Structure 1
Amino acid sequence: MALRQPLTQLSKRATPSQISRFAATPTTSLFPSDRKQLATVVPPVSQDATSSKGPTAMVFMNMGGPSTTDEVGDFLSRLFADGDLIPLGRLQNYLGPLISRRRTPKIQKQYAAIGGGSPIRKWSEYQAAEMCKILDKTSPETAPHKPYVAFRYANPLTEDVYTQMLADGFGGGKGGRAVAFTQYPQYSCSTTGSSLNELWKWRQRLEGKKASGEVSDEGSIKWSVIDRWPVHPGLVEAFAQNIEKTLAEYPAEKRDSVILLFSAHSLPMSVVNRGDPYPAEVAATVHAVMLRLKFSNTYRLVWQSQVGPSAWLGAQTSDTVTNYVKKGLHDLVLIPIAFTSDHIETLYEVDQEIIKEAEELGAEGVKRVESLNGSPVFIQALADIATEHLKQGKSCSKQMGLRCPGCKSERCLESKKFFMGQQAFL
């Protein structure tokens, strides 16, 4: 929901996931005890064939969320300790812990209200495992494919996943290949870029340095990246089918007049003005879905989860719903177009705040489209994207190599240079 007060006075209606999506650069984990919690346990995967190109680690990357209410405190502490994510100036080390401690009880109640924690880990692990089963059949030359999930601010953390991969026989002098597969279909420096920067940082630290200080490439994991997929036909089809299913719940005489509101997490205008590609790529997804639906309904792209006092990309989802309802437009369908599974933004912000407020205003026709979650169409799309990537033999998309016009981050530059440089090993 929209927040207009300073970060030191965060709204009671803000969620931690509203903040976590916008980490601009990586930071070192301040919680060594978290490393005791190893990465996601990798379940057995079916194996139809192996070759010199396998095995392949398939690493799903996302910002994550606390799986239990007990994890909320550490989750918030990581968020507020990051000066690039939430700049608090010279008082960062004091204000960060203070804000996180004050926020924890309220945020724990929000997670309790959606079942005791975020389901994003459950869905990510399921999607990754099911995709790998398909990949073993569609890309036998790179089998077996082992699924991993690496989160930016929640367990399993990127460093723990990398450590687990080394223990599983990838890298550490043994070589092997891994694919970093972003679970944000649309690229943003604050989401995919941040996760890749974090992965690059831990690769440099954990894969061993020479006496000269340089990181050794010999025997290390060879990485490639699936960095964006906003208009993939399978993704578009999965969204379209879920929308059609929801529209079918309306009476036939009302169905064509239902307004479709595609809702994506907003970005600060400072990030947008820097040249971040996210707004354009989200709009591309929306247009592709509407093409598939043959523009059956009127629609708008709106933005949710504004945080802090600065200007953010709008119009805001909550304001849009309220304004339409007050104008007598009560049949609205909310579509989480930039999220591939349920989490706090869908289950709490949309379901328990936005839709509830609309109902209190007398609108009974406001619904949310089901998230992609375990959709077989979506999981097949993931497998198709990964299969194509593995067969192409490219380290990343050409677009990933182009920095934002206003980018001044040296970390971003070095990260991009590393992943693009992996082409020589593929």
Structure 2
Amino acid sequence: MPVPQSSRRIAVVLFNLGGPDSPEAVRPFLFNLFNDPSIIRVPNPMRFLLASFISGRRAKAAKAIYAELGGKSPLLENTEAQAAALEAALKGLWAGEGMEAKVFIAMRYWHPMSAETAARVKEYAPDLVVLLPLYPQFSTTTTASSARVWDEAAKVVGLTAPTRLVCCYPTQPGFIDASAAVIRPLYEKARNHGKPRVLFSAHGLPEKVVKAGDPYQWQCERTAESIAAALCIEDLDWVNCYQSRVGPMKWIGPSTDEEIRRAGQDGVPILVVPMAFVSEHSETLVEIEIEYRHLAKEVGVPWFGRVPTVGVEPAFIEGLAKLVRQSVATPKAVCAQNGGQICPAGFSGCPQQAK
């Protein structure tokens, strides 16, 4: 549905994971995570019982992780900074065109969640809602889950404005250029210790999810290839790997910890690039910075560097602003920079192929 010519108000909703805002919030946050049917793919009441059991069992270890961050996740503050930067960028992009944009945040597993945000968006009375995930690569476990819950929340509050989803942007030029920009200075430092190896690390998924048609791994591979090319470093040594494995199931690989061990055997310095995370949180500030750094030292890696997320890097924010503008200008769903489907045939989890 095209935006009416009289339209002036655009509501942009940033999707993100969310994180506990206090030690007391850790267990309910974990329960919300594991009670998601996109994560634990069994029917209720079994899923509810499993979520209760897993969240209780993992709460103590998770609290220890968040204790390293002052007792809470920094994700909301980081996302708020991105929202403010995007709102300013859209104001500049639409200067003189009579367009107004307000950026909202909808977290999946902790506040502000979709039910709260949908009510605020309805009060804003937009002519169009653009759903913009802070997950560059599409997965049924992230973007699809967030979009499903948003649709449910919008119906509950009576939000009827036309809505468009930017489903993914794994090779969007602004995202890729921003990623390359934050890598380069650390790569130069690493060169003082030998020829560096770049580990493009993404959050992992159970292998069965990918085999069921989820395009996440394919898109992660495209992201890694694109950043490697953008670095313009001759004979760059790089690998795409995955972190944060939990549970007994087989996960996609290679795993980041395996690659760190291999780097230790090879005696090469490494840079870990969190290419599927655009905001700092426990997976970057604890798992990579503390746990992987310790592992690297233990296995003899001569130099370890954690590359920061793109955060509010100007190129990344400008790229998001272009995606929003493109989404407003076309009635089609936006996939990456070309506005159309980017996944090859065979990915049933891709929303463009599921129609």
Instruction: Please say whether Structure 1 and Structure 2 have the same fold, judged by a TM-score greater than 0.5.
Output: yes
How do residues 397-416 of structure 1 correspond to structure 2 at under 5 angstroms?
A: 397=335, 398-399=340-341
Distance 1:137 1:329 in 2: 48
How do residues 14-29 of structure 1 correspond to structure 2 at under 5 angstroms?
none
Alpha-carbon distance in structure 1 between the residues aligned to 2:145 and 2:294? 33
Q: How many Å apart are 1:139 and its aligned residue?
A: 2.2
Post-superposition offset of 1:301: 0.4
User: What pairs with 1:4-403 in structure 2 (closer than 5 Å)?
Assistant: 52-87=6-41, 91-140=46-95, 141=97, 143-170=99-126, 176-207=127-158, 220-252=160-192, 254=194, 257-296=195-234, 297-325=236-264, 327-397=265-335, 398-399=340-341
Give the deviation of 1:111 after TM superposition.
0.4
Letter aligned with residue 59 of structure 2:
T
Deviation of 1:377 after TM superposition, in Å, equals: 2.5
TM-score, length of structure 1 as denominator length: 0.74
Q: Distance in 2 between matches of 1:248 and 1:402?
A: 36
Instruction: Tell me, in whole angstroms, the C-alpha distance in 2 between the residues paired with 1:203 and 1:399.
Output: 26
Q: Post-superposition shift, 1:115?
A: 2.7
Percent identical pairs in the alignment equals 28
Structure 1 residue 62: Cα displacement: 1.6
Give the secondary-structure state (helix, strand or coil) at the position aligned to 2:15.
strand
Query: What amino acid maps onto 1:361 in structure 2?
Result: V
Task: Say whether the 8 Å CA contact 1:330–1:366 is kept in structure 2.
Answer: no
Q: 1:95: how far off?
A: 4.1
Deviating 4+ runs (over 4 angstroms): 87-91, 400-407
Query: The residue matched to 2:214 in structure 1 has which SS?
Result: coil
- Judged with a 3 Å threshold, the aligned counterparts in structure 2 of structure 1 residues 64 and 145 are, in CA distance, closer, same or farther, namely same
Q: 1:295 Cα deviation (Å)? A: 4.2
The answer to whether the 8 Å contact 2:38/2:145 transfers is no
CA contact (8 A) 2:190 2:305 kept: no
Whether the 8 Å CA contact 2:242–2:254 is kept in 1: the answer is: yes
1:76-127 deviation line (CA, Å, top 9, x unaligned): 1212334552256754444432332332232112101123222211111111
CA distance in 1, matches of 2:38, 2:279: 26
Query: Which amino acid letter does the alignment assign opposite residue 139 of structure 2?
Result: S
- Kindly provide the CA deviation profile for residues 347-376 of structure 1, in whole angstroms up to 9, marking residues without a partner as x: 111111111121133334011111112222
Query: Per-residue deviation at 1:67?
Result: 2.8
More deviation, 383-392/220-229: 383-392
Could you tell me which residue of structure 2 aligns to residue 34 of structure 1?
none
Indicate if the aligned counterparts of 1:266 and 1:306 stay in contact, CA closer than 8 A. yes
Describe the SS at the equivalent of 2:79: helix
Q: Label 1:233 to 1:88 Cα distance change in 2 as closer, same or farther (>3 A).
A: closer
1:293 deviates by: 1.6
Measured in 2, the distance between the counterparts of 1:74 and 1:403 equals 38
The structure-2 alpha-carbon separation of the partners of 1:389 and 1:355, relative to structure 1 and needing over 3 Å to count, comes to same
> Shift in Å at residue 168 of structure 1?
3.0
- 1:400 Cα offset (Å): 8.7
Q: Does the 8 Å CA contact 2:176/2:227 hold for their aligned counterparts?
A: yes
Per the TM alignment, residue 394 of structure 1 is displaced from its structure 2 partner at its CA by 3.0
SS in 1 for 2:189: coil
> Does the 8 Å contact 1:223/1:395 carry over to 2?
no
Please give the secondary structure, in 2, of the residue aligned with 1:193: helix
Displacement of 1:221 in angstroms is 1.2
Residue by residue over 1:137-194, the C-alpha shift from the partner in whole angstroms, topping out at 9 and shown as x without a partner, is 2124462211101011111111111012123334xxxxx2110001111111111111
Question: For the structure 1 residues 188 and 310, does the alpha-carbon distance in structure 2 shift closer, same or farther, using more than 3 Å as the test?
Answer: same
Query: How many equivalent residue pairs?
Result: 344
Corresponding position of 1:3: none
2:190 touches 2:270 (CA, 8 Å); kept in 1?
no
* Structure 2 letter corresponding to 1:293: L
Q: 1:65-84: CA deviations, max 9, x gaps? A: 11332321220121233455
Q: CA deviation at 1:264?
A: 0.7
Structure 2 unaligned regions, length at least 5: none
- Please report the TM-score for the alignment, with normalisation by the length of structure 2: 0.88
AA partner of residue 315 (structure 1):
P
* Aligned CA-pair RMSD: 2.6
- Aligned mates of 1:158, 1:403 — CA distance in 2: 31
| CA deviation string 1:3-62 (max 9, x = no partner) | xxxxxxxxxxxxxxxxxxxxxxxxxxxxxxxxxxxxxxxxxxxxxxxx832211110012
Give 1:64's aligned amino acid: G
